[in-house]
Chain A
Amino acid sequence: MQQARHIILSLCLLIIPFSVHADQDAMQLLQSMGTAAKNLNYDGVFAYQSGNKLQSIRIIHRSDERDEIERVLSLNGAAREVIRTNDLVTCIYPEGKRIHVNRRPLGRGFPSDLLSRLSSATDYYKVTLGDESRVADRLAQELSITPIDNDRYGYRLWVDKASHLLLKSELLTDNKDVLETFAFSTVTVNADITDEMLRPQITGQEMTWNRSDLQSPNQTTAIRGLSVWKLDWLPEGFVLVAQQSRLKASTGNAVEQRVYSDGLSSVSVFIEQIHAAHNHLKGGSNMGAINAFGTILHSHFVTVVGEVPAHTVEKIGNAIRYGNAGQ
């Protein structure tokens, strides 16, 4: 019996370092993936599948010492485009003849700096290496990311072995059902990207331009009242990672955005003061795998938006309360 215990103990000692090592490799690859998306030049077409909808989208990304610029455009239906530069996000909606320009809150590169907080996600996800396979004619390493609870989604990612660029991503429910898939069908890494390739298809003439700006310190002080909101519940591991206020282009209303994240998943809470008769979401809605929950509290529209399950945004929405500044 004692001998059997020794054998089990020895096996455990062998297995534990192996699994830790495997997780470290997986985490390292995940971090490299974030860096690659930011630093590489690439030009590709990927499919976005959500439910029974399938869309082809082109992405062109260029990064050098001075600038980072990215153009994402739909290849089916309306030729919508999003162009991101160092500090601006420009959304072009040709069907409505509208252009929205938002100043980027982070202003220091993208896709986002959330991936720099990946180390904090390790307590809430099991990150493991999977098999190798081929995506967009490139050899890819699969990464499996399984959450510890059902308050957040899981992922399966396929990362290019050569460049560490993310080639395919699946968003998974706790039943392992696939909610959304993004997958490159073709991509050129280290592509030569000209200025012409990054220009929008339309000139902007006869378009309506809306511009939302981050608020100056003085303006922020003026709406200090917006910051007295409290949250009584968040999924385990979610912390406040960003907070900003901006003036909405369409109404001029101040909107406060708070971003909470566990390092991988994130939710935004938007708080907008009601100044006139407007309609608002009451309860839940979804767009693909993005869930939203809206309510009105204390004369404010409060909306929770995130890549998390519907019950999570609802629970967060119901846990928001208005508190006095001194609380």
Chain B
Amino acid sequence: MMTVNYNEQLSALVDGELQGEQLERVLALLKTDVQAQQQLQRYQHTSDVLHGFTTKLHPVDLSERLALALQDEPTHTMRSQSKANVLAFPSQLWKQLSGLAIAASVGALAVVGVMTQPENQLVSTPIQVAAYEVVNDAKPQLASSNRWTVGEPEVEERLNTYLVDHNEYAGASGVFSYARVVSYDAGQ
């Protein structure tokens, strides 16, 4: 659900005018919002036409091309059998990502391309900078552990904070509900 405000920001991204927090927000939006990705491509195409870079009537899906190109690149895949998917933004890569997006609109499309990769990969080439995920091949086993099935301490801590807040509203097992917090398996 894009708003006028975000359309303006997407346009600003194409013009290389975004930075700091605004840039981070728009990149986060692009990661998940297909509509925003399509809108960005339209803005990019319009910009290209205005600048005489292309005469094609239809936007070029650079993200798809980039994704295809990346399939041939060497990759390092992280696998964890019982872990949930975690969307990770390594800080160093994030900085590179920000710089990349400011530098060029094509770069911004490259970001979209990597983010829509179907495989969960930590890629090593300079332009493969957007994100990696921990693969979740096996479905989490119900009630198999007293610990969140995630591998990232930051995500785990956030979920634990949510768990404490949610416990205030526990239903039928209310008397016992905080047992989950005190018995959290920190030693796994």
A residues at B contact (CB < 8 Å): 30, 34, 37, 46, 48, 50-53, 55, 57, 59, 72-74, 76-78, 80-82, 84, 89, 91, 93, 95-96, 100, 102, 104-106, 110-112, 114-115, 145, 155, 157, 165-166, 169, 171, 173, 179-180, 182, 212, 241-242, 246, 248, 250, 257, 259, 261, 263-266, 268, 270, 272, 274-290, 292, 294-299, 301, 303, 305-307, 310, 321-324
Contact = CB atoms under 8 A, between A and B. Distances in A.
A166 B173 CA distance: 8
Nearest to B98: A277
Interface stretch (B49-57, B104-112, B153-161): B153-161
Given A112-B168, A112-B169, A287-B159, A279 B146 contact: no
Contacts of A298: 1, 6, 29, 32-33
B25 A268 contact: no
A270 B21 CA distance: 21
A275 B21 contact: yes
Contact of A323 (B1, B88, B157, B173): B1
A285 B3 contact: no
B28 A274 contact: yes
Interface in B53-101: 84-91, 94
Nearest to B144: A51
A180 to B, nearest CB: 6
Contacts of A82: 164, 178, 181-182
Contacts of A72: 178-179, 181-182
Contact of A74 (B31, B32, B152, B183): B183
Contacts of A261: 169, 171
Contacts, number: 256
Given A81-B182, A169-B172, A289-B142, A306 B166 contact: yes
Top 8 A-B pairs, shortest CB-CB distance: A111-B174, A285-B84, A182-B176, A277-B94, A55-B183, A51-B144, A282-B85, A80-B182
A229 to B, nearest CB: 10
A281 B84 contact: yes
B147 interface: yes
B82 to A, nearest CB: 10
Nearest to B184: A80
23 contacts: A53-B145, A53-B185, A72-B178, A80-B183, A179-B142, A250-B157, A264-B171, A265-B172, A272-B158, A274-B28, A275-B21, A278-B154, A279-B86, A281-B87, A285-B150, A287-B163, A288-B146, A290-B163, A296-B87, A301-B158, A303-B162, A305-B159, A322-B1
